[in-house]
Amino acid sequence: MKYGLFLPPFDGLADASRLGELAVTAEEAGWDGFFVWDHLRYSPPVREIADTYTCLAVMAALTTRIALGPMVTPLIRRRPHVVARQAVTLDRLSNGRLIMGFGLGDDYPEGDLACFAELTDLATRARALDESLHVFTGLVRGEDVHFRGEFVTATQVSYQPSALRPTGITTWTAGRWPHLGPIRRAARHDGMMAIQITEPAQARELRERVAEAGADLDHFDVAIWGERNERLEFRRDERYEEWASAGVTWFLTGPGPFHLDHGEVRDYIEAGPPGN
């Protein structure tokens, strides 16, 4: 099981250069990955937010080993053809270390969907996400894409350069346990960021359902978000061997989203992965 940081670019971390420095610290401290939330707005007391993809570019340029990626991007808000170009650039900049995380997004009272007239109905967003993923996947592989859907259109287009690997860029999709729609979607890709998984038995059942939906479990990641509170008490869940034996491949943890202090976060990262 690998250990990744899962941090929002908010307030004390709303600075690409700071996140770049923290990525270097994470690499030196033995973390396996560093994943950044993707929001335009968030609930108070969050005030300042940095752009996730700009931060990832800086992080990729300064590191050589750790996996990096957005976790998660509401793809229909970002637009699949734009994100595909950004993702290929990041994939090449990082020498293939990029993991893309996609989901429906959330629209809290201070969220970033309704206020910009984006899609808000869950079922509608799910259909739009599936179309967007289809176009994104083809474009990053350098394929000729011709698609006309309910929400997304790509007319006889291909992108060069393409991703470093012929299979494209590692892609996880997010979803709340135990809903079957997100599980079936994840089975078509490379992994799932599983939200609201609280017990190893649930992770084991998730893998069974993903396999039933057609995923190859030998090449499928299950990522969970470890125990946390709004400050820095994130290491209460010490069942690392149980999580690993249940098939969890990534254990994500980190401070936030509120009251983020750069110095405190740096100290947290320097302490190294919780499973060490």
Q: What is the pLDDT of residue 69?
A: 99
Number of domains in the chain: 1
Q: Are the beta carbons of 203 and 249 closer than 8 angstroms?
A: no
Q: Are 7 and 265 in contact (CB under 8 A)?
A: yes
- 244 within a domain of the structure (yes/no): no
User: Residue 233 has what pLDDT?
Assistant: 46
Strand pairing class (145-148; 153-157): antiparallel
**Is residue 9 domain-resident?**
yes
Q: What is the pTM of this model?
A: 0.96
Half-sphere exposure of 87 (CA within 13 A, CB side): 32
Burial pattern 86-118, b for ≥16 Cβ within 10 A else e, equals bbbebbebbeebbbbbbbbbebeeebbbeeeeb
The confidence score (pLDDT) of residue 231 equals: 46
CATH of the domain at 55: 3.20.20.30
Q: Is residue 34 part of a domain?
A: yes
pLDDT value, residue 227? 63
Asked whether 273 and 3 are in contact (CB, 8 A), the reply is yes
Per residue of the chain (276 residues), give pLDDT as tens. Answer: 999 999 999 999 999 999 999 999 999 999 999 999 999 999 999 999 999 999 999 999 999 999 999 999 999 999 999 999 999 999 999 999 999 999 999 887 678 899 999 999 999 999 999 999 999 999 999 999 999 999 999 999 999 999 999 999 999 999 999 999 999 999 999 999 999 898 999 999 999 999 999 999 999 999 999 865 444 444 556 788 999 999 999 999 998 899 999 999 999 999 999 867
The residue range of the domain holding 126 is 2-181+225-238+249-270
Tell me whether residue 191 is in a domain: no
The Cα-based distances of 107 to 118, 142, 179, 215 in angstroms read 10, 33, 19, 30
Q: What pLDDT was estimated at residue 228?
A: 55
Nearest alpha-carbon partner for 183 in 209, 146, 201, 160: 209
Token pair 């998660």 in the structure block, residue: 72
Token pair of 47, please? 């005030």
Show Cβ contacts of residue 242 under 8 Å, excluding neighbours closer than 6 positions.
200
User: 138 lies in a domain?
Assistant: yes
Kindly state whether residue 197 falls inside one of the protein's structural domains: no
Please provide the DSSP assignment of 47-75 as one string.
Answer: --B--HHHHHHHHHHH-SSSEEEES-EEH
Residues with Cβ < 8 Å from 240, sequence gap 6 or more?
1, 251, 274, 275
Domain-embedded: residue 276: no
Structure token digits, residue 10:
């908010």
Number of residues that this document lists for the chain: 276
Is residue 213 a part of any domain in this protein?
no
